[in-house]
């Protein structure tokens, strides 16, 4: 099924889900100015009729745009265009592709994330307080304990990288990792659900240990190099 937005004539690709298609269509009409910041969107039923999709798809699309800061919901009042929607020049489109925009895959996410992780690690080594370095060590210990207990260590892994971002002394690092949070979580979980994970556990922990040790001994270049190596290896583990 292909969605067409009346008045804009945008045809979306067939490769993505209906939720992705509707999210893109709604974003298009908002960007085109049909709905202004602060303005209420049509009801779920109206959107479902307009685009020929189910209410479930409408709700999922609204949730996606809400997570992106494009819309906000008010209890009993419906969905509204966020007053700051126009201030979001950077956005990662959901998994679907369009004719002029390829689908976002792990390679693109890791290329983007690698530079951030490298710089955050280097700055954490230079700027991190003793308490912040202790938080990095605690997150590493939690990840190690979870994996040794048979878990996947995903939540502690995310906390580890978030702790490094905090220690970097620039709030934008943490905000950016939060922005990528869903992609990061899914990529980590995806690499730890097959039989190969048992073979990779030691390497994963060694990579995190190398980052932690470099930061804790205040060696910015070593921390940068360790983060780069970890990101490169993560990508290889995520690829089929």
Q: How many residues does the chain have?
A: 240
Strand partners of residue 79:
73
CA distance 229 to 219: 16
Indicate the range of 18-27, 122-131, 219-228 predicted with least confidence. 18-27
SS3 101: strand
- Exposure string over 159-177, b if 16+ CB within 10 A, otherwise e: bbbbbbbbbbeeeebbebb
- The larger pLDDT score, comparing residue 94 to residue 71, is at 71
What tokens appear for 149 in the block? Answer: 């207990």
Residue 131: burial class (beta carbons within 10 Å; 0-12, 13-18, 19+)? exposed
Q: What is the pLDDT of residue 151?
A: 87
pTM of the model: 0.62
Cα pseudo-dihedral 235, 170, 63, 31, rounded to 10: -100
CA distance 76 to 79: 9
What tokens appear for 186 in the block? Answer: 């899914």
Q: What is the pLDDT of residues 183-202, one digit of tens each?
A: 787 777 766 766 677 788 89
Strand partners of residue 81:
71
Q: What is the pLDDT of residues 83-140, one digit of tens each?
A: 876 655 455 654 544 445 556 677 888 888 999 999 999 999 999 999 999 999 999 9
Query: CA 54 → CA 108, 130, 142, distances in Å?
Result: 31, 53, 42
Q: Where are the domains of the chain?
A: 18-81, 106-238
Handedness of CA 122, 126, 132, 133 (dihedral sign): positive
- 62 Cβ contact partners less than 8 Å away, ≥ 6 residues apart: 26, 41, 44, 71, 73, 79
CATH number of 106-238: 1.20.120.530
β-pairing, 78-81 with 71-74?
Answer: antiparallel
| CB-CB neighbours of 39 under 10 Å | 11
CA distance 229 to 142: 22
Q: What is the DSSP letter of 13?
A: P
Q: What mean pLDDT comes out for the span 65-86?
A: 85
Q: Determine the topology of domain 18-81 in CATH.
A: Arc Repressor Mutant, subunit A (1.10.10)
């Amino acid at each position: 099924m292909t969605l067409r937005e009346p008045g804009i004539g945008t045809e979306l690709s067939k490769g993505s889900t209906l939720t992705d298609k509707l999210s893109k269509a709604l974003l298009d009409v908002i960007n085109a100015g049909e709905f202004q910041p602060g303005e209420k969107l049509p009801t779920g039923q109206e959107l479902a009729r307009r685009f020929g999709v189910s209410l479930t798809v409408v709700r999922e699309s609204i949730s996606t745009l809400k997570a992106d800061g494009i819309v906000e919901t008010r209890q009993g009042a419906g969905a509204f265009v966020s007053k700051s929607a126009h201030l979001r020049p950077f956005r990662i489109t959901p998994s679907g592709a369009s004719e002029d925009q390829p689908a976002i895959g792990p390679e693109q996410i890791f290329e983007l994330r690698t530079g951030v992780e490298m710089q955050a690690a280097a700055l954490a080594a230079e700027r991190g307080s003793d308490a912040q370095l202790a938080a990095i060590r605690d997150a590493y210990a939690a990840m190690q304990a979870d994996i040794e207990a048979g878990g996947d260590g995903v939540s502690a892994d995310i906390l580890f990288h978030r702790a490094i971002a905090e220690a970097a002394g620039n709030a934008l690092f943490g905000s950016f990792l939060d922005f990528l949070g869903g992609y990061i979580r899914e990529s980590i979980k995806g690499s730890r659900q097959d039989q190969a994970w048992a073979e990779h556990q030691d390497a994963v922990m060694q990579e995190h240990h190398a980052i932690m040790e470099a930061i804790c001994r205040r060696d910015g270049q070593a921390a940068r190099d360790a983060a780069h190596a970890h990101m490169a290896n993560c990508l290889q583990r995520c690829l089929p």
